[in-house]
Structure 1
Amino acid sequence: MPHANGHDIDPTFYRSPAEAIAAPPERLAYVVAFDRTAERPDALTVIDTDPDSGTYGEIIGWADLPTRGDELHHFGWNACSSAFAHAGHHTDGLERRYLLLPGLRSSNVHVFDTKPDPRQPTLVRTVEAGELADKAGYSRPHTLHCGPDGIFLSCLGGANGADGPGGIALLDHDTFDVLRAWETDRGPQYLAYDAWWHLNQNIAITSEWGTPSMIEDGINPDLLLGNKYGHCLHFWDLAKGTHIQEVDLGAQHQMVLELRPSHDPEATWGFAGVVVSTEDLSASVWRWHLDGGTWRADKVITIPAEPADPELLPPALKPFGAVPPLVSDINLSVDDRFLYVSCWGTGELKQYDVTDPENPREAGSIRLGGIVGRVPHPSAKDEPLAGGPQMVEVSRDGRRIYVTNSLYGSWDDQFYPAGVGAWFAKIDTDPDSGGGLTVDDRFFPHGNEFRGLRAHQVRLQGGDASSDSYCFR
């Protein structure tokens, strides 16, 4: 796509959701995998997603990190469709080329180049923890999004041993230098987790998990039952970095994690997932929306806990005699029609029709793994699975859903004490037929294919449902 000044714009920068949906399907998936023992390097793996390929569903690329003990978590592209929101950048050769991999435990950010050979990414830079601390005042980077003004890196901890506040570091698109802390006035915000935005409305949204001391050794029962984990949404002026409004979902709704704003650039609503209610162990999904000049949030989905034999439960759950869903990720299709909700505790992936976002309707469900169910993959029916659908990613055309099974090292160990293993699955759906989910029995890299590492997040070649935001209809 040529620009008026003669420069070419990266064809994976999509002006609108419809353009993204119509683009060629992904042929590769990038999955980060980490070593819980910190004895081996974490890795960026590459999986073949071309169904006509002889290596379909296999790991075809592998890049070790130069360090150990990073615990790779949520990673992302240096640039994406949001490039259209800031004048100048997309005419200067900016392209979706580099993957930035934050280490949640090390506070390092490793930068890999996918352009020379997309199947064999190469390390080009490591942004070290000291630079993140010195220039932005943060540590424990968690989530990374390409956005206006630069790369937004959400961090859980403060610098120089400070447990908080967490917040967002801004990195340069081209050099990957840490520029500064994004916030100029944080108001009451202290806890951090995800960050997203409504670009055309100049609104950013952030969510809350906990500080490093609250999460790194697993869920702390005293903190959980005391309702000390995050339970608020925060709304900001995106350009200025100033806090506008806090919306408290209620202290019992513990751990407001993933944010998925509508892809329609003119819409002013989105969904947030809540891990657990301390009232009844249920999980929930909330819809935020602009009501006049005020941001509000309403619970639109409740997923109850499932009764279970205490003998089958890990120690943390035995007193309750139930398996909480533990909603750890959600994902909204690019056409804003279907919401996917991963219930890591019960092993269920739910699909909701959200064409009426105020009234979601369940349209499909599959189960893999689960604390009690251990539902096997259809390609390996004699192999009970640990973990469950955790990170969930949706293809741009909404027809393929990818899930990995590890949440966070210490939490894996707490809820799956016999071992969580490693697996990566693909689920098919047909949006034109109203949804419904089918597990692809040809696609299941798992176990030794990950060389003893745990699989966490996935990014798709050319972008996916949670990597891009759009400026035009």
Structure 2
Amino acid sequence: MSHAATDPTFYRSPSDAIAAPPEHLAYVVAFDRAGRRPDALTVVDTDPASATYGRVVGWADLPTRGDELHHFGWNACSSAFAHAGHHTDGLRRRYLLLPGLRSSNIHVYDTEPDPRQPRLVHTVTAAELAERAGYSRPHTLHCGPEGIFLSCLGGANGDDGPGGIALLDHDTFGVLRAWETDRGPQYLAYDAWWHLNQNTAITSEWGTPSMIENGIDPELLLGNKYGHALHFWDLAEGRHLQRVDLGEQHQMVLELRPSHDPEATWGFVGVVVSTEDLSASVWRWHRDDDGTWKADKVITIPAEPADAEALPPALKPFGAVPPLVTDINLSVDDRFLYVSCWGTGELKQYDVSDPGHPREAGSVRLGGITGRVAHPSAPDEPLSGGPQMVEVSRDGRRVYVTNSLYGAWDDQFYPDGVGAWFAKLDTDPDAGGGLVVDERFFPHGDDFRGLRAHQVRLQGGDASSDSYCFR
């Protein structure tokens, strides 16, 4: 079959993606915690040769207020090579879909013809999402077989759950239906990804809307009531196959990062906190010889002791800062895993060439609950927040981080204000890794007009936006 009309940013293999030209723009969603001003889709120049490098060069306000933009993504990606009927019919990585985690609306922005000036072209309303899929509180989306997969935390009409996946049309963005045909024991939701060539979907667990919207509930946390399992599904049928419990003390099983190798059957998932010792962890799932799925803890990051007087009220009784692993990202070549420790303000880099035995290869600190480590370009400005959302360029040489987690949780752990910042780090995979902060790249504070910066998407795709069909 000819692929002549396929978008050039659809890459047949990870190696093709790595060899593609570097990104010149980053799209960053930013939100108003108070809900009095519109949230925004911002555009930042990432071309080092540009006169506006590291500056916000585009801005699109939402037409509504109180959305709380969080995760977002492209309408299409390299997995389009596996979509029946979409090889040559003009499907392009053109539209960014912005779910409102609080409003349940999804705003669709067109990045053409001017990628610096995205235009609102469609809105999927909360009512449509509820009526056609039975869900609310849309969280994460990925382009995949049959449509755009949109994970949602809540049920329809104010129901707290179950959460699950809504399927949206690739072309019209209309809500088609709920993806699941047999939910099995799954109730809590968070992320969703897959092994395309294995016909396997994986989902993770955070909590229902009432469990998260006002911050961490200490009673729920210490009662081990947040999510602590992975779920494996038949991708084509939407049918639940297996639940893998990581242990109830491992609370909040969040970001899924499957191997980019389309023949692999492993991936990583981050766990925010252990109620046993406040440590965070990263687990590797894999398919065993008997065909069942298993998960093993491969990284443990301990809490750091701290003076209770320096801690926010939520942590004073513990006398320690938990790492709070809130995001992870796997480079396209599957060699390096990046782990955001939002509590301690550390971004860790691990060599995962042997995925069962990660080895730390680099580390940088910015912000942190007690550290408040400044950016080297502004050494007199202590930073709040910490590396949170992390995105990696296709060639694995640039790492981007933003500092806000979720409005209510920001306020809980950084009660004096979290601010807004967006940093870039450089690494050299050929030299074995290591992280260096780019002093020229630091949009922050007034650059975001008082809004908090959250997730990043890179022009042409990035390490967490695509799955590949060929080696």
SS of structure 1 residue aligned to 2:127: helix
Residue 115 of structure 1 pairs with residue 90 of structure 2: no
1:74-113 aligned within 5 A: 74-113=71-110
- SS of 2:121's equivalent in the other structure is strand
What is the identity, as a one-letter code, of the residue corresponding to 1:362? E
C-alpha separation in 2, matches of 1:310 and 1:439:
30
Letter in 2 for 1:112: Y
Q: Of residues 436, 447, 451 in structure 2, which corresponds to 1:453?
A: 451
2:268 matched residue in structure 1: 271
- The structural deviation recorded for 1:352 is 0.1
Matching residue within 52, 58, 76 for 1:55: 52
Code of the residue aligned with 2:124 in structure 1: it is V
Q: Aligned residue for 1:128?
A: 125
Q: 2:134 aligns with which of 128, 134, 137?
A: 137
Secondary structure class of the residue paired with 1:155:
strand
Report the Cα distance in structure 1 between the residues aligned to 2:316 and 2:438, rounded to whole angstroms.
Answer: 34
Match of 1:284 in 2: 281
RMSD of Structure 2 on Structure 1 (CA): 0.6
Q: Which position in structure 1 is the counterpart of 2:397?
A: 399
2:363 and 2:251 mapped to 1: Cα distance?
24
State the match for 2:419 in structure 1. 421
**Deviation (angstroms), 1:148:** 1.2
Tell me, yes or no, if structure 1 residue 67 matches structure 2 residue 73.
no
- The total of aligned residue pairs comes to 470
Q: Quick one: which amino acid aligns to residue 376 of structure 2? A: P
- CA distance in structure 2 between the partners assigned to 1:47 and 1:307 by the alignment: 37
1:432 alignment counterpart: 430
**Partner deviation per Cα, 1:80-137 (whole Å, 9 max, x = no partner):** 0000111211211000000000000000000000011000000001100000000000
Q: Alpha-carbon deviations, 1:276-312, whole Å to 9, x = none?
A: 0000000000000000211000000000000000000
What secondary structure is seen at the aligned counterpart in 2 of 1:274? Answer: strand
Residue in structure 1 matched with residue 166 of structure 2 by the alignment: 169
Equivalent position SS for 1:91: coil
CA contact (8 A) 2:5 2:89 kept: no
Find 1:203's aligned residue among 182, 200, 204.
200
Provide the rounded CA distance (Å) in 1 between the counterparts of 2:78 and 2:2: 18
Q: Distance in 2 between matches of 1:294 and 1:144?
A: 26
Paired with 1:90 and 1:53, the residues of 2 have a C-alpha distance of 34
Q: Secondary structure at the match of 2:254?
A: strand
Contact 2:271 2:325 in 1 (8 A): yes
- The answer for the alignment partner of 2:316 in structure 1 is 318
The match for 1:150 is 147
Deviations 1:356-398 (A, max 9, x none): 0000000000000000000000000000000000000000000
Separation in 2 of the partners of 1:294 and 1:322? 38
- Asked whether the 8 Å contact 2:228–2:246 carries over to 1, the reply is yes
2:305 maps to: 307
Does 2:221 correspond to 1:224?
Answer: yes
CA deviation vs aligned residue, 1:213-237 (integer Å, no higher than 9, x gap): 0000000000000000000000000
Alpha-carbon distance in 1 for matches of 2:161, 2:5: 42
Secondary structure at the aligned position of 2:87 is classed as helix
Give runs of aligned pairs for residues 239-250 of structure 1, distance below 5 A. Answer: 239-250=236-247
Q: Could you state the TM-score of these two structures normalised by the residue count of structure 2?
A: 0.99
Which residue identity is paired with 1:465?
A: A
In the aligned structure 2, how far is the partner of 1:403 from the partner of 1:92?
35
Between 1:311-320 and 1:80-89, the stretch displaced more is 80-89
Deviations 1:174-233 (A, max 9, x none): 000000000000100000000000000000000000000000000000000000000000
Task: Name 1:352's counterpart in structure 2.
Answer: 350
1:404-454 CA distances to partner (integer Å, 9 max, x unpaired)? 000000000000000000000000000000000000000000001100000
Answer yes or no: is 1:257 the counterpart of 2:247: no
Distance in 2, Cα, partners of 1:9 & 1:145: 18
Q: Which residue of 2 aligns with 1:466?
A: 464
Q: For 2:142 and 2:404, locate their aligned partners in 1 and report how far apart those are by CA, in whole Å.
A: 21
- Distance in 1, matches of 2:142 and 2:43, equals 20
Query: 1:4: Cα distance to partner?
Result: 2.3
Match of 2:331 among 315, 330, 333: 333
Q: Name the TM-score, length of structure 1 as normaliser.
A: 0.99
- 1:21 — aligned with what? 18
Q: What is the CA–CA distance in structure 2 between the aligned matches of 1:410 and 1:443, rounded to whole Å?
A: 28
Which deviates the most, 14-23 or 82-91?
82-91
AA aligned to 1:369 is: G
Matched letter for residue 225 of structure 1: L
Q: 1:390 aligns with which of 388, 391, 410?
A: 388
Supply the distance in 1 between the matched residues of 2:168 and 2:246 (Cα, whole angstroms).
31
User: For residues 33 and 467 of structure 1, what CA distance do their matches in structure 2 show?
Assistant: 19
- Matched residues in 1 for 2:338 and 2:54: separation? 22
Q: Give the Cα–Cα distance (whole angstroms) in 2 for the partners of residues 207 and 4 of structure 1.
A: 37
Shift of 1:332: 0.1
Deviation at 1:457, TM superposition (A): 0.1
Which residue identity is paired with 1:55? T
Q: Structure 1 stretches of 5 or more lacking a match?
A: none
Q: Which runs of 4+ in 1 moved over 4 A?
A: none
User: How many Å separate the matches in 2 of 1:90 and 1:51?
Assistant: 34
Q: For residues 413 and 352 of structure 1, what CA distance do their matches in structure 2 show?
A: 30
* Cα displacement (A) at 1:8: 1.1
Gaps of 5+ in 2: none
> In 1, distance between residues paired with 2:181 and 2:84?
22
Deviations 1:10-31 (Å, cap 9, x if unpaired)? 0000000000000000000000
